[in-house]
A and B are shown apart, each in its own frame.
Chain A
Amino acid sequence: MSRHLTHRFWLCFFVGWGGMVVATFSKSLAPAALCAPFLAALAVSVADGWWPDARAEGATVSSPRVVEGDTMEFSIELVSERSVWAELEVQFPATLVPATSTRLVTVVKGRQRFAVTVVADRWGAAGPEWAVVTTRDRLGISERVARYPLHLPVRVHPTAEQLNSLVPLYRERPVTGEHRAKSKGSGSELAEVRPYRFGDPVRMIHPRLTARRGTPMVVERHPDRSSDVVLLVDSAQDLGVNTDTTLRWTVTAAMALGERHLRAQDRVGLIDVGRGVRWLPARLGRRHLHTVIDALLATEVLPRHQSDKGFVAPGKLPKSATIVAISPLLSEITLSVLVDLRSRGHEILVIKPTLPEPPTEIGVLARRIFRVGNELNERWLRERGVIVIPWSTGDSLEHVIRRVVLNLGRTRQTAS
């Protein structure tokens, strides 16, 4: 909060004072008469009271979670015990674009509500930032400026698709889930039909098959199991414009995968590689889904420092976790983290969103160098046993996951 006198004070003061000085030296009332209104303005402002007080409170948003393109209403109250000339300005982050005016100039007495319609233009986690209330006396001679931080997080979700397929588990956990286990036992998916063997429980005998074949038959099923999936999000760079950016596609894919795997009773963790490495431990449940989504929405490209290290503490990742990285494979820190994790024996799958077309101003040679560098990064990872699946961002993520299922099956067969 700051209080000061405006330039109008000095205007009135100098003009009024100057008129009186000239009147004194010229021994005439005329200059004093001409400038008297300015001195009278000072007197009126003093009588009105300098630095009147008004505050902003009761800030609300109509919806704390919206989807890109949605409209919501932000409202705030100006409060003052006595009649005060007040100006209120609300500041929004770049992701929220005001559709109506964000400034109000009014004379407030009691409470006055001010509403702003806002369009959620881009995904992210950022609400209205500040309300700045400027109060003045009626002649604008004294001014009081107060800033009120607004702690109103608004989560703008990108439009993400619903997935049906799951990334195949690497090592199963002995907890019921939606993945088909390699072993046989009680479950819902048929594994095989075979004759009854000594030692099988009698209740495993299938009566209708036994009746049809004339010999005791047993139906075996795959148990449904769950696993650990760790999503690795590359926030080291964001290429592209508007909504067609690599980071947006990365976050969209991570949200869809996280939501699907948590629905399948998998434990989901999150690693954010950008400025250093941050992570969320793998956990289960709806509450954790909200935590993961909030963390993903808060992802942004931050400037890096020398001290930032690309390193994930070994104890933080479950041994059985399948790591699904979504990355354009451009950042060195991401590549080093992926190779580090691979060298520790984790199965790593990289979904690589299509890179947007570079601007036309960039020369052919520069484009070629960029493309070759990117392909070399990809090949370097493949040589170290990392599976890289390109994702043409116009296509459905569902197709990509189906290709992942095929690729992983093939890779695991080769490995075994």
Chain B
Amino acid sequence: MSAFLDRVTAFFARHIPLLIDPESVVAAFIMTFWSVITGAQGGWITILMLFGSSMLLHIVTIEHANYVLTWMTNSWLLLLVVLGAELTFDGLPHWLLAVAGTSVLGYNELLRINQLRRRNAVIHEQVFHAAGLAVGGAGLLATVGIAVAQVLDIGGGRNWLWLPAAVFVLLAIGFLLTVGPTRGRSEADKERWEPGERIPPQPLASDNLEQTN
């Protein structure tokens, strides 16, 4: 029994600091906000169920720092936002939807910063400012773009695929210009250093020693 208690204590000692970091708390707040908004339509039971499952996913993602889980949690949050906007608010203004999308992007960024804290990393304050600026910039660009589209009434009925196609072409050109001359992705992945993995040390010293065989 005491061994079990020791394991439980060790588990909390290891994971609680990661869960109470500022960025983790803000991320939990975003998740809670959207689960409450989405569940509001269905009553307390729905709110509690959505809140419980969201928090569980959030905690597991933070604990494992795994990108597949990060994808899953982000998709879940995006689903909550879509359902919340449609069911609770019966459709939000487009610029507010862009802000909601930014909150999902921000959530992803907060998880990323939380993952950087692993292995007792020293994180300088500029990192938070830079991340905030980048997400804020992307969100502002998207919101202003959507607001302008709404004001100019270039909404429904248009073929919006031109926009991702343009971004795709832009990225492809950027990729070819910068990565083209270097190695392929598979090779880079093979040599990639995994965080926490020990690289075997190179032979040191004893160069003066002669060897018979």
Contacts and interface: CB of A to CB of B under 8 A. Distances in A.
Main secondary structure of the interface of A (DSSP, over half): mixed
Given A17-B168, A24-B159, A40 B141 contact: yes
A51 B78 CA distance: 28
Interface stretch (A202-210, A293-301, A321-329): A293-301
Contacts of A89: 119, 195
Contacts of B78: 15, 34
B178 A50 contact: yes
Contacts of A40: 137-139, 141-142, 145
Nearest to B105: A37
B142 A276 contact: no
Contacts of A138: 130-131, 133-134
A16 B109 contact: no
Interface string B83-110: 0010000011011011011101100110
B155 interface: yes
A87 interface: yes
A43 interface: yes
B81 interface: yes
B6 interface: no
A121 B202 CA distance: 20
Chain A interface size, as a band, is 35 or more
A312 interface: yes
Contacts of A12: 105
A170 interface: no
Interface in A294-321: 294-295, 297-299, 307-309, 311-313, 316
A145 B193 contact: yes
A16 to B, nearest CB: 6
A402 interface: no
Contacts of B2: none
B205 A50 contact: no
Chain B interface size, as a band, is 35 or more
Contact of B91 (A3, A30, A276): A30
Interface string A2-40: 111101100111011101110110011110111111111
A295 B174 contact: no
A199 to B, nearest CB: 49
Contact of B202 (A38, A132, A139, A149): A149
Centre residue among A105, A294, A299 by max chain B CB count within 10 A: A105
A104 B212 contact: no
B35 interface: no
Contacts of B179: 3, 51
B171 A127 contact: no
A46 B202 CA distance: 38
Contact of B201 (A13, A30, A129): A129
B3 interface: no
A41 interface: yes
B205 A294 contact: yes
Given A43-B167, A138-B134, A105 B193 contact: no
B146 A32 contact: yes
Nearest to A17: B164
Interface stretch (B7-15, B17-25, B43-51, B182-190): B182-190
Contacts of A139: 109, 134-135, 138
Given A30-B97, A101-B121, A295-B208, A39 B163 contact: yes
Nearest to A85: B130
B160 A20 contact: yes
26 contacts: A2-B188, A3-B179, A13-B168, A21-B161, A29-B94, A30-B94, A32-B160, A33-B98, A34-B101, A36-B146, A43-B141, A87-B116, A89-B195, A101-B121, A103-B119, A126-B201, A129-B199, A132-B193, A139-B134, A277-B212, A278-B209, A280-B208, A291-B208, A294-B205, A295-B206, A298-B204
Given A11-B74, A85-B130, 8 more contacts: A13-B168, A24-B160, A34-B101, A93-B201, A105-B122, A278-B211, A278-B212, A294-B205
> Which 4 residue pairs of A and B lie closest in terms of their CB atoms, listed nearest first?
A298-B205, A2-B188, A103-B121, A36-B142
